[in-house]
C-alpha cells in the first residue's frame, strides 16, 4: 500500500491542473502538524509556569497576611 501511495500523483488545492507526489504532500502536512503541536506544547508549558508562579505568589501573600495578623494579635 505504501508503495502505491508513494507514486500516486494528486492535484493541488490551489491549481487543480498541477499535480504533486502524494508522499511529498503527506510528509509536508505531517511536518507542519508536528511543528504546530510542538509550538502549542511550548505555549502550554509557558502558561502553566506562569499560573504556577501566580499561585505561589498568592500563597506567599496569604502567609504574609497570616503572619501580620498573628503579630498584631
- Distance, in Å, from the CA atom of 34 to the CA atom of 41, rounded to the nearest integer, reads 11
Q: Residue 50 has what pLDDT?
A: 92
Q: Is residue 40 part of a domain?
A: yes
Domain count, the chain: 1
Q: Is residue 15 part of a domain?
A: no
Q: Is residue 41 part of a domain?
A: yes
Q: Is residue 56 part of a domain?
A: yes
Summarize pLDDT for 17-73 with one digit per residue, the tens.
888 888 888 899 999 999 999 889 998 999 999 999 988 989 888 888 888 888 886
Q: Which comes out higher in pLDDT, residue 2 or 30? A: 30
- Distance, in Å, from the CA atom of 73 to the CA atom of 69, rounded to the nearest integer, reads 6
Predicted TM-score (pTM) of the model is 0.51
Kindly tell me if the per-residue pLDDT of 1 is higher than 90: no
Q: Is residue 32 part of a domain?
A: yes
The one-character DSSP state at 73 is -
Q: Is residue 55 part of a domain?
A: yes
Cell numbers 509557558 correspond to what residue? 46
Q: Which domain holds residue 30?
A: 24-73
Across the chain, the runs of DSSP E, i.e. the strands, are: 9-11, 19-21
- Distance, in Å, from the CA atom of 26 to the CA atom of 3, rounded to the nearest integer, reads 14
Q: Is residue 18 part of a domain?
A: no
C-alpha cell at 12: 493541488
Amino acid at each position: 500500500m505504501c508503495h502505491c501511495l508513494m507514486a500516486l500523483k494528486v492535484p493541488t488545492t490551489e491549481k487543480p491542473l498541477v499535480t504533486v507526489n502524494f508522499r511529498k504532500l503527506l510528509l509536508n502536512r505531517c511536518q507542519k502538524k508536528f511543528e504546530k503541536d510542538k509550538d502549542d506544547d511550548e505555549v502550554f508549558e509557558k502558561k502553566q509556569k506562569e499560573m504556577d508562579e501566580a499561585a505561589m505568589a498568592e500563597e506567599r501573600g496569604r502567609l504574609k497576611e497570616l503572619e501580620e495578623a498573628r503579630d498584631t494579635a
